[in-house]
Amino acid sequence: MAALNLSRLIAAAADTIAAHAEALTALDQAIGDGDHGLNMKRGFEAVRGEAEAFSAKPLPEALKAIGTKLVMTVGGASGPLFGTLFMALGKEISAAPDRANLTLAFGKAIEAVAARGKSQVGQKTMLDVLQPVHDALLQGKAAAEIADIADAAAEATVPMKALRGRASFLGDRSIGHMDAGARSTALLVRTVAETVGE
């Protein structure tokens, strides 16, 4: 992997979320309460606001601090879950991760999200993107391919029935819409893939 420029990555992630905030909110309006775009934008702008301080830290501490910030600012169900993802990633990752360490840390972070959300793959949540991305990392797929896999995985939540989160209240009526958290996860995966590359 190329050397990580964390401040560049934070700016790119905040830009992506800001650019897609309305679209994410629209997805959440269909089968949730219509705040996902706003939630994510608030959180990632807060992270952007402290990008300099975060970037000065070693990567594990930076990721833990970003996770804590996301928990405090995103809110909703997704805040604690994305926060957990970053905090757990920070706990497991090394200061200069290679692909093997990143893959291992990402796997542990997904387990932490699933434990926190009492959720698993197939329930129409962010996990339905995170897991295929982990599989692709394990298979040694290239960054560009992983970004496409994440998009396809978000797309694949459309025919699913939601079994976790607000969308689950709709039962069968949740079928036919993309999960907002799956979409935001895919956007973040593409941003990381395009910023960090191989």
Rounded Cα–Cα distance for residues 8 and 3 (Å): 12
182 binds ligand ADP per the rule CB under 6 A: yes
Rounded Cα–Cα distance for residues 99 and 158 (Å): 31
- Interacting span for ligand ADP (CB under 6 A) from 12-20, 53-61, 101-109, 174-182: 174-182
Residue nearest ligand ADP (C-beta atom): 181
What string marks each residue from 19 to 48 as x (binds ligand ADP by CB under 6 A) or -? ---------x---xx-xx--x---------
Task: Supply 101's token pair.
Answer: 């360490």
64 binds, among Mg ion, ligand ADP, none (CB under 5 to 8 A by kind): none
174 binds ligand ADP per the rule CB under 6 A: no
Q: What is the largest CA-CA distance in the chain?
A: 47
Which one, of 69, 57, 1, 27, lies nearest residue 185 by Cα?
27
Shortest Å distance, C-beta 111 to Mg ion: 24
Which one, of 98, 17, 18, 92, lies nearest residue 60 by Cα?
92
- Interacting span for ligand ADP (CB under 6 A) from 43-51, 54-62, 119-127, 137-145: 119-127
Residues that bind Mg ion (CB under 5 A): 28, 32-33, 35-36, 76
92 binds ligand ADP per the rule CB under 6 A: no
- Angle separating helix axes 180-196 and 6-31, nearest 10 degrees: 160
Residue pair 129/182 in contact by the 8 Å Cβ criterion: yes
Shortest Å distance, C-beta 16 to ligand ADP: 16
132 binds ligand ADP per the rule CB under 6 A: no
Rounded Cα–Cα distance for residues 35 and 26 (Å): 9
Radius of gyration of the chain (CA): 15
Residues at the interface with ligand ADP (CB under 6 A): 28, 32-33, 35-36, 39, 76-78, 81, 117-119, 125-127, 164-166, 179-182
